[in-house]
Amino acid sequence: MKTNHFLLSTVKEVPADAELISHQLMIRAGMIRKLAAGIYTWLPLGLRVLKKVEKVVREEMDRIGAQEILMPSIQPAELWHESGRWAQYGAELLRIMDRHHHEFCYGPTHEEVVTDLARRELRSYKQLPLILYQIQTKFRDEIRPRFGVMRAREFLMKDAYSFHEDEASLKETYDIMYETYARIFRRLGLNCRAVLADSGTIGGKITHEFHGLAESGESLLAYSDVSDYAANVETAEAVMPSIVRQPAAKKMELVHTGTAHTIEEVCNLLKIDPKQTVKTLIVKGREQPFVALVLRGDHQLNEIKVAQLDAVASPLVFASEADVLKTVGCPVGSIGPIDLNMPVIIDRSASVLSDFVCGANQTDHHYRDVNWERDVVLGTVIDIRNVEEGDPSPDGKGRIRFARGIEVGQVFQLGTRYSTTMNATVLNEKGEASTLMMGCYGIGVSRTVAAVIEQSHDDKGIVWPDAMAPFHIAIIPLIKDIQDETSQKIQAMAEKLYEQLMQAGYEVLLDDRAERPGVKFADMDLIGIPHRLVLSPRLGLEQVEYKSRKSAGVMMVNIDQVIPFLQEKTG
């Protein structure tokens, strides 16, 4: 490709609404343009990169025998009613109506469609296991689309679905898929970590997420400092503290705390550590109107863990100020677990406290030196908090550390979540109908592009790993005056080299613009081409100057040696 005929839409200014470096660089390099909130056009340069991700994903899916299909992006509401997700999915599902008043949605994922396909096409256990996949545009009406294609509304996903006769076969494919995901991200040059995760609205129990490690990542990951344990903080278990609860030392006492309502204010007033307090939160219950949750003052509630409890309404809804005043008889800042007229769920770490401070369920009052069992019933004790750095790792080995990650993929063992509700069966060996076991496996193809940039850039622009680069090599002839004979020779030499490199299988960008050298260098650095070759009258007709995007120094290479030289560089 020659720059004169290529839509190289680089811009100098940092776009005002782009917080993340990947978002800034994708706009500045001319990879994407925004059409509407969370909806983007991929320009030629960006699309070349997106296709690189697709290529690696396809090769790896095909390698494990997965078969590519293409399902529609518009899906009929009936299938979602069958699975129960029409009601469950919420506002992220873009619901649309056709001229006959039939309801549809724009697919955010394809479990329903693929399960419908499977129940129509699969007859016998002999056809199993089967893996189908597609690379396709999804739409999720994200509440806060941001960071460019990182959290878009319209985005490209690879989604795969597997069908099995039994759990053992599902597990086998799950493990293969897990290994394949690790391989895909390795090939793409992304520093990635697999973690235990929560399955959200997709369903199923066993699931792992793959995260590109980056400070800017939206996900917080907990890992052990000595073992392989790693989990999304959403799901990482906070284990029962090993300490035994100390016997009560003091008598319970009611104290006037006035305008001190938050844990911090109460601790300042009473000159105590937040670790010696508990906080009580009230949420809507499933059967009872309200349920109280008690945590140590310095701990954070884990909403995902709580929403999974039988006693608690899902999705999680906090009681309003008015609800609290009506049911407990005091404002939110004074609630405590003593004599509460609702089920009380106590976090493990709060359950081992003694002589602690809590709200008194009386306006502007707290109790101090409260003790479980003596002063307050020790109700259900369960893990409802976020793990913290320094906590013991749940596998019993080492302590928890935190890292941030960008979720680029997730694998799920769905089991029969969709096949039961949608009645997808095959005949087993005995000729009986047997419900299909399923797995599903997603990769954020477009998000992966942004994740790689988050990990791989410098102050000049993007630094592509070879596998992702839109072009492998940039050829920059520096010609001042094309009337000049030497310049004409340099021009011819550049054209010849361009042809030769393409014949050798490289994707080459020849910068034939009449721009100053500084402009050309800056653009090629910004768009991140891994290998740069400069030709100029100063260097003569025998040699070219080579520079890698990853290092500062340049090297002279004899013109006849360019191809073997690059072959060595690109492995």
Pick from 438, 427, 431: nearest CA to 122: 427
Which residues have CB under 8 Å from 551's CB, separation 6+?
A: none
Q: Which is nearer to ligand ATP, 170 or 352 (CB)?
A: 170
Residue 414: CB minimum distance to Mg ion, A = 13
* Positions in 193-252 near ligand ATP (CB under 6 A): 200, 202
Find the part of the chain contacting Mg ion (CB under 5 A) among 52-60, 61-69, 409-417, 491-499.
409-417
Q: Which is nearer to ligand ATP, 445 or 529 (CB)?
A: 445
Full 3-state SS string of 135-198: EEEEECCCCCCECHHHECCEEEEEEEEEEECCHHHHHHHHHHHHHHHHHHHHHCCCCEEEEECC
Residue 442: CB minimum distance to ligand ATP, A = 3
Residue nearest to ligand ATP (CB): 444
Q: Which is nearer to ligand ATP, 160 or 376 (CB)?
A: 160
Residue 444 interaction partner, one of Mg ion, ligand ATP, none, beta carbon < 5-8 Å per kind: ligand ATP
Q: Which is nearer to Mg ion, 180 or 410 (CB)?
A: 410
Q: Which is nearer to Mg ion, 199 or 486 (CB)?
A: 199
Residue nearest to Mg ion (CB): 410
Residue 384: CB minimum distance to ligand ATP, A = 21
Residue 65: CB minimum distance to ligand ATP, A = 21
Neighbours of 327 (CB within 10 A): 17
Residue 160: CB minimum distance to Mg ion, A = 14
Whether the Cβ atoms of residue 283 and residue 291 lie closer than 8 Å to each other: yes
Relative orientation angle of helices 562-570 and 485-503, to the nearest 10 degrees:
50
Residue 438: CB minimum distance to Mg ion, A = 16
Whether the Cβ atoms of residue 275 and residue 281 lie closer than 8 Å to each other: no
Asked if 470 interacts with ligand ATP (CB under 6 A), we say no
Q: If you write DSSP's letter for every residue of 441-469 in order, what string do you get?
A: EEEEHHHHHHHHHHHSEETTEE---TTT-
Whether the Cβ atoms of residue 295 and residue 301 lie closer than 8 Å to each other: yes
Pick from 480, 479, 445, 460: nearest CA to 529: 460
- Rounded to an integer, what distance in angstroms lies between the CA atom of residue 138 and that of residue 158? 10
Residue 445: CB minimum distance to ligand ATP, A = 8
- Rounded to an integer, what distance in angstroms lies between the CA atom of residue 93 and that of residue 15? 29
Which residues have CB under 8 Å from 445's CB, separation 6+?
A: 50, 53, 54, 57, 135, 155, 156, 157, 158
Residue 104: CB minimum distance to ligand ATP, A = 20
Residue 5 CA to chain centroid, in angstroms?
Answer: 36
Residue 107: CB minimum distance to ligand ATP, A = 11
One of 216, 410, 419, 536 touching Mg ion (CB under 5 A):
410
Phi, psi for 169 (deg, rounded to 5): -65, -40
Asked if 155 interacts with ligand ATP (CB under 6 A), we say yes
Find the part of the chain contacting ligand ATP (CB under 6 A) among 72-80, 147-155, 179-187, 519-527.
147-155
Q: Which is nearer to Mg ion, 108 or 394 (CB)?
A: 108
Q: Which is nearer to ligand ATP, 33 or 460 (CB)?
A: 33
Asked if 409 interacts with ligand ATP (CB under 6 A), we say yes
- Rounded to an integer, what distance in angstroms lies between the CA atom of residue 321 and that of residue 327? 10
Q: Which is nearer to Mg ion, 112 or 369 (CB)?
A: 112
With CB under 6 A as the rule, give the number of residues binding ligand ATP.
17
- Rounded to an integer, what distance in angstroms lies between the CA atom of residue 152 and that of residue 46? 15
Burial 392-410 (b: 16+ CB within 10 A, else e): bbbeeeeebbebebbbbbb
- Rounded to an integer, what distance in angstroms lies between the CA atom of residue 292 and that of residue 70? 48
* Positions in 157-176 near ligand ATP (CB under 6 A): 157
With CB under 5 A as the rule, give the number of residues binding Mg ion.
1
Q: Which is nearer to ligand ATP, 336 or 442 (CB)?
A: 442
Asked if 442 interacts with ligand ATP (CB under 6 A), we say yes
Q: If you write DSSP's letter for every residue of 355-372 in order, what string do you get?
A: SEEEE-SSTTEEEEEE-B
Residue 128 interaction partner, one of ligand ATP, Mg ion, none, beta carbon < 5-8 Å per kind: none
Full 3-state SS string of 17-66: CCCCHHHHHHHHCCCEEEEECCEEEECHHHHHHHHHHHHHHHHHHHHCCC
Q: Which is nearer to ligand ATP, 151 or 531 (CB)?
A: 151
Asked if 140 interacts with ligand ATP (CB under 6 A), we say yes
Q: Which is nearer to ligand ATP, 152 or 475 (CB)?
A: 152
One of 447, 472, 531, 532 touching ligand ATP (CB under 6 A):
447
Q: Which is nearer to Mg ion, 154 or 209 (CB)?
A: 209
One of 111, 369, 383, 407 touching ligand ATP (CB under 6 A):
407
Pick from 553, 554, 550: nearest CA to 457: 550
Sheet holding 344-347, edge to edge: 278-284, 290-296, 344-347, 380-382
Which residues have CB under 8 Å from 2's CB, separation 6+?
A: 498, 509, 510, 511, 512
Find the part of the chain contacting ligand ATP (CB under 6 A) among 80-88, 99-107, 152-160, 296-304.
152-160
Q: If you search the block for the tokens 């897990």, which residue do you land on?
A: 178
Residue 163: CB minimum distance to ligand ATP, A = 19
Find the part of the chain contacting ligand ATP (CB under 6 A) among 70-78, 225-233, 275-283, 442-450.
442-450
Asked if 152 interacts with ligand ATP (CB under 6 A), we say yes
| Radius of gyration of the chain measured on its C-alpha atoms | 30
Q: What residues make contact with Mg ion under the rule CB under 5 A?
A: 410
Q: What residues make contact with ligand ATP under the rule CB under 6 A?
A: 109, 140, 142, 151-152, 155, 157, 200, 202, 407-410, 442, 444, 446-447
